[in-house]
Amino acid sequence: MVETPRINKIPYGGDYNPEQWPEETWEEDMRLLKLAHIDIVTLNVFSWASLQSDDDVYHFEKLDKIMELVQKHGLNVCMATSTGAHPAWMARKHPDILRVDHSGMKHKFGARHNSCPNSPTYRKYAPALAAKLADRYKKYDNIAAWHISNEYGGECYCENCEKKFREWLRARYKTIEEVNRVWNTAFWGHTFYDFEDIVLPNLLSEHMDGGRTCFQGITLDYRRFNSESILNAYRLEYDAIHAITPDIPITTNLMGAYQPLDYQMWGKYMDFISWDNYPANDAPIESTAMRHDLMRGLKQGKPFALMEQTPSVTNWLPCNMLKRPGVMRLWSYQAVAHGADTVMFFQMKRSIGACEKYHGAVIDHAGHENTRVFREVAQLGAELDALGAQTLGARSDAKTAILFDWDNWWAVSCSAGPTVYLDYCDEVQRCYKALFDQNIPVDMIGVEDDLSRYDLVIAPVLYMVKTGYDEKIRSYVKSGGRFLTTFFSGYVDEHDLVTVGGYPGRLRDILGIWVEEEDALPADMHNHFRYQDKTYPASMLCDLLHTEGAEALAFYEEDFYAGMPVLTKNAFGKGFGYYVATRSSDEFYRQFLGEICKDSGIMPVMDTPDGVEVTRRVNEKGVFVFLLNHRDDDYTAVLPFGGANLLDGKNYKTGDTLILAGKDAAIVKLQ
Ligand code: GLA
Ligand code: ZN
């Protein structure tokens, strides 16, 4: 849909489930959706049971009627394939479709997102249904996109998956000797003599309660295998649809920083990225911003779709607070500010039964337009109509990148030491926040992405350095790039095997340091260091390091390692390698990263107080600066540029004052 010229504006709409309602209510829904300026509906997300009642028995009459209805009313469609939950009869007749969980328990029919990705039944019937849908509805010119399944996720430990895991290992490692090497099975007498000896790592084998594993290598490979298994199931549907409607883009709705699936690999097989954004009401703004940037990065900065958000409230938090007036609009523009070209909701109409009956919707149980939520949705809809195509296709022009790597995330999370308090995502977010707070644009990139377009690359906790990645960093820094990494970096290779000869292993020459030990501190214990006349905390993990050519910028002040360097800078080729040997405070990261940006000539889009976010997107129509006031009170900006606020049509000259009320947003198109 991002690429469909038919909707030459930001598509606006979301999940619509008329099949859950009597037909006589449909026309009234249409009236209300029009009134709310909705122009796209996601149909057919969970209809497998009604579309297929036996192996060869399909029923499309109801969906035909729904398609006629929405077409008649000029709505575009994001057409789902319904395979996010299999029918009950299928589970009874073909139990191979049921998953086995981490504890080894075989599931019965129930819930959703419940199919084993390697089940022959699933792999047969899911693409078969997708093909039938594509074939039947290809004549409609209002299908803007295909939406495969729904929020893929989870894992399976069934016997079939176990068999497939062995095949996957054989293809990857060729010999059992190589498997033994990469898993270091000489430890605890785990030597495997045959691929048949290998079992899946869960509570019945390598895992302990709480998700810890005895064999990181096995668990790491299982995670790769599981992510790929689910991806392969998606690809079967993709191929089935693409063969029939090659011009309609295909997506599936992702979930941001979702650990089980390596979205960077998934992104390669999606025509555009779409994701579901459900931050808790008190989630830090930068955590949402980072996730948008992460999703944008999956396709090297190409605009993405906000596939779902709630218009008002979720149903699955312990306490589901309403989005305050203006927040839905603000967060919608936040998505656009970070690269979304589509704004959509879950859902159009609140269901009357089951677990989502109290989830927010455009049409509430009251059934009419006289609600706060409806009015807010309609107002945003009118604004997006007026905004038109201006921002479509615009990209970030960030000069700073933060590396995010799923393999590294998996490896850090099962590292078994030095501390359970280390959370990779959290560490990435700390660095992100430092830049976010200064309105310095960031691209979130993966290990395959090009580094040369950036002046600064930050790789927080780069624990796993895959073969060849050190070389990529090395040549980037040699030719003038600035590279920064933090504690617990360069320890292992892609198999989670330690690189011997001293940490940070393959990064040692680039950083000009040798890390001898690492000290894990309990939550209430801190060391300290002084930098630029200020004292900052050193917490959680403290690397004890020696410089080997790097300049030490700060030193630990306490404990037996007082006087050892904690912050280093190494001139390497034409560039620099920086190392932050501990976890410090937000204030520190802001100061230190801010300085490095300044040295690299990287400028904030604009200076604003905390709680006022600013981003920039650029397309052939111009440069767009998004101002988002997340605070409750007014914010008065003195604009360092002139331009027109596309949301209210007002024009500004450089130095003019723009007053942004609490929760308000502006999109200034620069002159
Ligand atoms: C997810 C799903 C939707 C719905 C919403 C509720 O994002 O994709 O089907 O369950 O959550 O928040
Ligand atoms: Zn399985």
Give the model confidence (pLDDT) of 306-329 as tens digits.
999 999 999 999 999 999 999 999
User: Which pLDDT value is given to residue 151?
Assistant: 98
The two three-digit tokens of residue 518, written as one number: 């690492």
Q: Percent of the chain scored above 90 by pLDDT?
A: 98
308 lines ligand 1 (CB under 6 A): yes
pLDDT at 6: 66
Please check the confidence at residue 3 and state whether its pLDDT lies above 70: no
Q: Measuring from atom 4 of ligand 1, which residue has the nearest CA?
A: 346
Which residue CA neighbors atom 12 of ligand 1 most closely? Answer: 314
So what's the pLDDT on residue 416?
83
The number of the ligand 1 atom at minimal distance from the alpha carbon of 255 is 7
Q: Tell me the pLDDT of the chain averaged across its residues.
A: 97
Burial class (CB in 10 A: 0-12, 13-18, 19+), 211: exposed
Taking a C-beta distance cutoff of 8 angstroms, is the pair 213, 207 a contact? yes
Q: Which ligand is nearest to the CA of 96?
A: 2
Pocket test for ligand 1, best of 20, 78, 346, 358 (most atoms within 8 A of CB): 346
Q: Is 308 a catalytic residue?
A: yes
Q: pLDDT at residue 2 above 60?
A: no
Cβ of residue 279 lying under 6 Å from some atom of ligand 1: no
Q: Which ligand is nearest to the CA of 256?
A: 1
Element (H, E) at 513: strand 513-520
Q: Is residue 286 helix, strand or coil? A: helix
Which residue's C-alpha comes closest to atom 3 of ligand 1? Answer: 346
* Residue nearest ligand 1's atom 11 by CA: 346
> Distance between CA atoms of 266 and 263, rounded to whole angstroms?
5
| Residue 474 reports pLDDT greater than 80 | yes
The pLDDT value given to residue 210 = 73
Residue 417: its pLDDT value, please?
Answer: 85
Q: How far is the CA of 160 from the centre of ligand 2 (A)?
A: 5
Ligand nearest to the backbone CA of 101:
2
CB 197 within 8 A of CB 477: no
Q: Is the CB of 437 under 6 A from ligand 1?
A: no
Give the pLDDT mean for 552-569.
98
Catalytic residue among 286, 308, 376, 383: 308
> Which of 210-219, 262-271, 366-375 has the weakest average pLDDT?
210-219
CA distance 533 to 528: 13
Give the nearest ligand 1 atom to 253 CA. Answer: 8
Does any ligand 1 atom lie closer than 6 A to the CB of residue 239?
no
> What distance in Å separates the CA atoms of residue 133 and residue 81, rounded to the nearest whole number?
7
- Residue 133's pLDDT band (cuts 50, 70, 90): very high
How many Å lie between the centroid of ligand 1 and the Cα of residue 489? Answer: 36
Q: Is 493 in the pocket of ligand 1 (CB under 6 A)?
A: no
In tens, the pLDDT along 501-545 reads 999 999 999 999 999 999 999 999 999 999 999 999 999 999 999
Q: Which of 148, 275, 276, 348 to mutate to test the pocket of ligand 1 (most atoms within 8 A of CB)?
A: 276
pTM of the model: 0.98
Note the pLDDT of residue 547.
Answer: 98
**Ligand 1 in contact with 529 (CB < 6 A)?**
no
Asked if residue 548 has its Cβ within 6 Å of ligand 1, the reply is: no
Q: Which ligand minimizes its atom distance to the CA of 114?
A: 2
| Average pLDDT estimate for 362-375 | 98
pLDDT given for residue 176 in this prediction:
98
- Say how many Å lie between the CA of residue 209 and the centre of ligand 2: 21
What's the average model confidence in pLDDT over 469-488? 98
Handedness of CA 446, 451, 454, 456 (dihedral sign): positive
In ligand 1, which atom is closest to the CA atom of 314? 12
Name the phi and psi angles at 445, rounded to 5: -120, 165
Q: Specify the ligand 1 atom closest to the Cα of 278.
A: 12
Q: 206 an active-site residue? A: no
| Contact status, residue 191 vs residue 185, Cβ threshold 8 Å | yes
Residue-level pLDDT at 7: 83
pLDDT tens string 586-642: 999 999 999 999 999 999 999 999 999 999 999 999 999 999 999 999 999 999 999
Identify residue 488 by its one-letter amino acid code.
F
Cβ–Cβ < 8 Å for 581, 488: no
106: CA distance to ligand 2 center in Å? 10
Residue 553 reports pLDDT greater than 60: yes
Q: Is 356 a pocket residue for ligand 1 (Cβ < 6 Å)?
A: yes
Q: What is the pLDDT of residue 209?
A: 78
Tell me: pLDDT of 265 over 70.
Answer: yes
- Report residues near ion ligand 2: CB below 5 Å: 116, 118, 156, 158, 161
CB contact set of 210 (below 8 Å; sequence gap of 6+): none
Strand partners, 77: 41, 143
What's the pLDDT band for 403 if we cut at 50, 70, 90? Answer: very high
pLDDT of the residue at 529: 98
- Whose CA is closest to 640, among 652, 624, 623? 652
Which residue minimizes the CA distance to atom 10 of ligand 1?
356
Could you tell me if the CB of 347 is within 6 A of ligand 1?
A: no
407 lines ligand 1 (CB under 6 A): no
Give mean pLDDT, residues 462-484.
98
Report the pLDDT value the prediction gives residue 1, as an integer from 0 to 100.
55
Mean pLDDT to the nearest integer, 553-561: 98
Query: Which residue lies with its CA nearest to atom 5 of ligand 1?
Result: 346
